[in-house]
Chain A
Amino acid sequence: SQQGEEDPQALSIQEGENATMNCSYKTSINNLQWYRQNSGRGLVHLILIRSNEREKHSGRLRVTLDTSKKSSSLLITASRAADTASYFCATSGGGADGLTFGKGTHLIIQP
């Protein structure tokens, strides 16, 4: 079952601008992950944040986690056309539990 909502469902920005996507979830988590999916094919892992972490960076990505609000955000800075994709947050209870995905944000970067 899906954890919750992602906001916005679609986002269109100019190349070079920053893109922010939000994710909410419902249950307690061990970690939260963000994935990218191009054109309905395989998903690529972007970043993982543990439940006891509040912020994490990886290259142009910045993820925050607020467990009290059960929400996370993904910031992509200095966007590029190649960032055009669907972005999903996914929660895990840890171990081999599998992932529960949010509804996703479709990001379009206009050149």
Chain B
Amino acid sequence: DTEVTQTPKHLVMGMTNKKSLKCEQHMGHRAMYWYKQKAKKPPELMFVYSYEKLSINESVPSRFSPECPNSSLLNLHLHALQPEDSALYLCASSQGGSYTEAFFGQGTRLTVV
């Protein structure tokens, strides 16, 4: 199984809502990532978890809160988002070694209204 599964595929939320994005992989990968991608732009790294611990936070606003409940799951909790946070949110995983590829999920397309 070389899949990274993200749910939901689409999400529309109001600025006062709280929602969560979920990501799951069963490849035994030790590293998991969240990326944000705006239209016609490249993905930008948000967070990295290594061995279930947050290792990189790319100065992401606190309205985005990541969580890694176990080695297979990664969540992104959303609260009080702004319309400019509308984007495609991509989850990825990798072995985390020196020369390893990343496997990406299909993403959650988030619209904040």
Contact = CB atoms under 8 A, between A and B. Distances in A.
Interface string B41-61: 111110010100001100000
Q: What does DSSP make chain A's interface, helix, strand, loop or mixed?
A: loop
B106 A42 contact: yes
Interface string B5-46: 000000000000000000000000011010001010111110
Nearest to A93: B98
A2 B106 CA distance: 21
B102 interface: yes
Given A88-B42, A104-B42, A99 B96 contact: no
Interface residues of A, number: 26
Contacts of B31: 96
Contact of B42 (A33, A42, A94, A101): A101
B98 A42 contact: no
Contacts of B106: 41-42
Nearest to A47: B101
B103 interface: yes
Interface residues of B, number: 32
Contacts of A94: 97-99
B107 A97 contact: no
B11 to A, nearest CB: 15
Nearest to B45: A98
B105 interface: yes
A50 interface: yes
A48 B50 CA distance: 21
A50 B99 contact: yes
23 contacts: A31-B98, A40-B37, A40-B109, A41-B106, A42-B105, A43-B43, A44-B104, A45-B101, A45-B102, A48-B99, A48-B100, A48-B101, A94-B99, A95-B50, A95-B98, A96-B50, A97-B56, A98-B48, A98-B56, A99-B33, A99-B43, A100-B45, A103-B42
